[in-house]
Structure 1
Amino acid sequence: MHAVSPPGQAFALDLSGLRSPGITVWSAWDSGIVLGVGALKELGDRRGEIKSMRTHPDHLRKGVGTAILDHLIAEARLRGLTCLSLETGTGPIFEPALAMYRSRGFRSGAAFADYDASAFNQFMHLSL
């Protein structure tokens, strides 16, 4: 994401960020090969954030991201969260992910948590 985002506008977590308290990471595998990952960050107040959704380039458009997103939504419901939010970028490279989020009911909305709105980023929310 850093390569396609303006400086200071990529908020993807590295490994140390994913190890932070309140963040749970899941991965999808097939025959010992990682297909994709996604994380759920608990924000408090029964709110959560989708973090670090990634599908390996060799497995794009095969349903990996959708399967991980469905799992994160189900897990958020199990944890009693009432809203899931995410921050992502704008531009053609983000359109497939945006379509996936919209297909699951996410809608565009205001900045949340510690994010500041910019011309590059956008925010989506799903009521659970």
Structure 2
Amino acid sequence: MPNTSLKVTSFRYLAQLEQHLKPMLNVLLLEGMEEDIMEIRIDDLSGSEINGLLQEHLNNMHEISPPESVHALDLSALKSPDVTLWGVWIEGELAGCGALKKIGPSHGEIKSMRTSQNHLRKGVAANLLAHILQESRRRQYTRLSLETGTEPEFQPAHRLYERFGFEACAPFGDYNEDPNSVFYTRVLQQFSPA
């Protein structure tokens, strides 16, 4: 009689591995199409480039959404010990940024995702999102969530998050229902061959 438990375990492991690697493969395909090398590194928020990009982000959020529906973090909130912010650099130029906020022992939230106008459609957000997913797993988070807007300007973000396996969900943490907000979440599996 064949050992079916080994086959089931192997199949589950492969399914978990595929779910984990699929977003990474999408990013690798994007990177292969780009000649520019991206460097993702933690930013201490002291540079004028990152401050300018984050101010542009806040200004844009206030232009698009009503004030009560803007949940973007300001500089002081981004300096909180429970927030890590990364900058994406291409050939010495800041191309984008994104943050990971700890909102529970095993739950993280994506904040302040922004690509500079000069680097749109180069895979900056996809590479950064893959990095944040990897870091969330390293921190052993089991869930990663985010809030974004419902206005047409946010449609590219919706497509990106959905491509990376995020699903619409109810408000989480301190958020409330808001017609100008959509919430996404993704379960993060800490896979192992056992």
TM more than 0.5 = yes
> 1:64 & 1:55 partners in 2: Cα distance?
7
Q: Which residue of 2 aligns with 1:96?
A: 156
Length-normalised TM-score, structure 2: 0.65
Is 1:36 paired with 2:96? yes
Q: Which runs of 5+ in 2 are unaligned?
A: 1-60, 189-194
User: How far off is 1:110 after superposition?
Assistant: 0.5
User: How far off is 1:48 after superposition?
Assistant: 0.4
| Amino acid of the structure 2 residue aligned with 1:119 | P
More strand by share: 1
Q: Which residue of 1 aligns with 2:187?
A: 127
5 Å-filtered alignment, 1:75-86, equals 75-86=135-146
Length-normalised TM-score, structure 1: 0.97
> 2:140 & 2:155 partners in 1: Cα distance?
30
Q: Which moved more, 1:77-86 or 1:26-35?
A: 26-35
| Amino acid of the structure 2 residue aligned with 1:85 | S
- The correspondence for 1:17, drawn from 71, 77, 95, is 77
Q: Which runs of 5+ in 1 are unaligned?
A: none
Find runs of 4+ consecutive structure 1 residues off by over 2 angstroms: none
**Root-mean-square deviation (CA), in Å?**
0.8
User: How far off is 1:91 after superposition?
Assistant: 2.0
How big is each residue's C-alpha offset from its partner over 1:9-47, in whole Å with a ceiling of 9 and x where there is no partner?
Answer: 111112111101210011110122100000000111300
Is 1:68 paired with 2:68? no
| Amino acid of the structure 1 residue aligned with 2:177 | A
Larger Rg over CA atoms: 2
CA contact (8 A) 2:64 2:151 kept: no
Q: Which moved more, 1:34-43 or 1:1-10?
A: 1-10
Aligned length: 128
> 2:68 & 2:103 partners in 1: Cα distance?
22
Q: Which residue of 1 aligns with 2:65?
A: 5
